[in-house]
Structure 1
Amino acid sequence: MTQTVAAVIVTYNRAEKLARVLDALAAQTRVPDRIYVLDNASTDSTVALMDERKSDSLRHLRLARNVGGAGGFNAGIKAAFADGFDQIWISDDDAYPEPDAMEKLIAGLAEFEEETGYKPSFACSAVRWKDGSWCEMNTPATVWDWPRFYGKDMRYFLVRSCSFVSVLVPRWAIRAHGFPIKDYFIWFDDAEYTQRLAKSYPGIFVPDSLVIHDVEVNQGVNYGMITDKSLWKFRHGARNETSFRLREQGMVGVMEFLYQVHVQMAGARLPWKLRRPVYFAIWRGLWFRPKIEMPRQDMI
């Protein structure tokens, strides 16, 4: 029986790039059965674009206010799950999948289960930057025995987390582990969610599924790179990861994270005006206990 697939894209004021994403989805060898565009109250031409592209297979869900990537993905996955889709592909509004990217992820989940008997909790793509180099911010985190099933017959790596740039999640995993944490707003929502999904079984990295991430600068997340402009994002990331570490690892995990952040900021000789808000965000994370939403009975 053919699995139904929905695509969830969260967007905010990137109409031109969003149009390219929609074009790339329309050109897939396995076109999604429905596309959900979660519009975080964009003020550019996004509404006009969606009106122009209007169709039965495209749903424009315009939110009343900007709830961040975390809130958008929460709402989008929830909508697709409620509509009964078997698999949900999650990605950003500036990530362009190659024509067979989705087909490769779908095939990867099916082949891995058939060959090994294990059910991966998600499948993620290889994300490249605009020049074809590896996109630093979208590097999946592998498990300790990541090459266990990599060989001549299968080319998949086991991963414990990945970004929300081209990841396919089966319905059973959402039913078992719930939705992304909307209160995170931005940063670490993808890492938390995929690690939560992976409690059932790790995800798989599918290197033949390719996506181009059209970000301005190709760099990963390092607390030594904080600027006045990016500070607000790092504050959210520090709070969110602290909350996650406390929940999953206790104070030992929190202290390890604090040490890592301190070393990165001190090593870069960041001024105190940039360090202090991050330390305070870690402190706030100790009391930040966001709710994990599970599917309602009527959605299952």
Structure 2
Amino acid sequence: MIEIGKYNILTIDRETSVGLYLTNGEDDILLPNKYIPKQYELGEEIEAFVYLDQQERPVATTLKPYILLNGFAALRVSFVNKYGAFLDMGLEKDLFVPFREQARPMEEGKRYIVYMYLDEKSNRLVGSSKTSQFTDNENLTVQEGEEVSLIVTHTTDLGINVIINEQYTGLLYKDEVYKDLRMGERLKGYIKNIRPDNKIDVTLQKAGVEGIEPNAAKILQELEEGRGFLGLNDNSHPEDIKTVLQMSKKAFKKAIGSLYKQRLIAIKDDGIYLAEKDDV
């Protein structure tokens, strides 16, 4: 079955005046002329996203949507009418979010985190900004220390709320984040703590000794890009370290300590240098 709201691997079956017809062996779907690749052959497989066009007919496209079925994304409102809001999802047709699915009234030009689902009654793709109804921390399959994917949703007094693996909700504490995060931004994180009530704390750094490694690698990269010199050391102000490296002073000191022990850097009064034999 060809799935609406998802990428499908389909075979180019035949050419027509309006485009290529693709098939999965059972069902056919049109890939309009404007989306046809420059080079193709009949019988060749192609990946295409399937959605409903303005006439509510299934159609294939090679455009890349900003959101997939049963997924979350931050989308901008194109316009609002008496039925609801229409959000730009990267295709010719916008994603419809009815008023009943808006956590708060949407405004044209603003971005919102939404979930896209297939409405069973109309068989149409619909969005909802009431995202909590599509996450559930009751039955967790993640473990502490596990690497996960995160989507930034909003900031509270405690920290930054995130969606984990597009299934669960979690929290990044403000004092553990050393760079600006945008709503809808996707990034890699780690499960820091799972509380008795199944609330999840996440972090952007690996725990323990392993947590030093990404920071050490970042410092080496900065040294290489700076021709072997970085104007920071133990006495640098925490804000300067945060601005340049997006890490805390504590993490910075641990990282340069590790690099120094490995004889990879030399620490001097004016900053850090890539090590030479005479330095270590």
Query: Fold match, TM over 0.5?
Result: no
Larger relative strand fraction? 2
Larger relative helix fraction? 1
Q: Which has the higher contact order (CA 8 A, sep 6+)?
A: 1
TM-score, scaled to structure 1: 0.26
TM-score, scaled to structure 2: 0.27
